[in-house]
Amino acid sequence: MNASNNSLAGLRVAVTGGTSGLGLALVAQLHRRGAKVAFVARDAARVAAVAAKFPGAHGIVADVASKEATHPLALQITSALGGLDVLVNNASTLGPAALVPLADTECEDFEAALAANLMGPFRLTKALLGALASSARQGRPALVVNITSDAGVNAYPTWGAYGASKAALAHMSRTWDEELKEHGVRVIGHDPGDMDTPMHAQALPDADPAELKAPSTSAAELLDRIATMLVREEAAA
C-alpha cells in the first residue's frame, strides 16, 4: 500500500540525527507532506542550515547520547510542536572511529556506541512518553520508530559495538511495544537497509554508492509504513 501524502499532514514528528543521511531525508519529506517537524543534531551550523532550507521545521541543537541533555531536549520538542505524535530515534554512531574487532575495541568506544544508539533512544523515549500518551488519549497517533540495522541480526566482523547496540535497540523496541500498546502507544524497529550516507562511507569507504539505497528512498519507505499503520489503526478504532 502506498499511503497518501495527505495522511501525514499535521502530524507532529521529532527526528533525531536530522541533518544528514536518512534523518535529513525524513525532515525534507515530512516537511513536503505537511507534517510539523522538529529535528535534532549536534552541529549548530548544520541545524541552522537545515532549518533555513525548510521553513517551519524546528531545529534543536543537542546530543542524544548525553544524559543531561535528555529532559531539556524533550521539553524543547514538545514546546516546538505543541505535543508529539511520532518520535523517530535515528541518530547513531558506529562507535570506534575505525572499525576493529571486538578484542581491539576500547571500552570507551563500546560505551559511546551504546550511549548514542541505545541509551539515547531509551532516555528520550522515556522522557517523551507522557506527551505520546497524551496524544493517544486525544485519539491522535502515538508512535516511536527506532532505526535498527541488519548488523543487529547478523554478526559482521569489526561491527561488534554497533551491532550489539542495534540488537539491543531492536529487542527493546519489541518489549516496549508489548508494554505500551494497551495505552495506545506503539513502538517499532525499522531497518532502512544499506544507504549511501556519510556513516556508511566512513565504515566502508570502498563501497559502490550505486549499489546502495538513496536516503530519500529509505525515507519514503519508512513514511509510507507509518502512514499505512495510521490508516489501519484509524480503521480499527
- The catalytic residue positions are 162
Max Cα-Cα span within the chain: 52
What is the spatial distance between Cα 144 and Cα 122, in angstroms, rounded to a whole number? Answer: 11
Q: Using an 8 Å Cβ cutoff, are 40 and 15 in contact?
A: yes
Give the Cβ contact number of residue 100 at 10 Å. 17
Q: Label the pairing between strands 186-190 and 12-16.
A: unpaired
Residue 98's Cβ-count burial label (10 Å; 0-12, 13-18, 19+) is: exposed
What is the spatial distance between Cα 39 and Cα 45, in angstroms, rounded to a whole number? Answer: 14
Q: Which residues of 23-53 are buried (b: 16+ CB within 10 A; e: fewer)?
A: bbbbbbbbbebebbbbbbbbeeebbeebbee
Give the CA distances from residue 45 to residues 21, 42, 50, 141, 174, in Å, rounded to whole numbers and listed in that order.
16, 9, 9, 32, 36
What's the grid cell of residue 46? 548544520
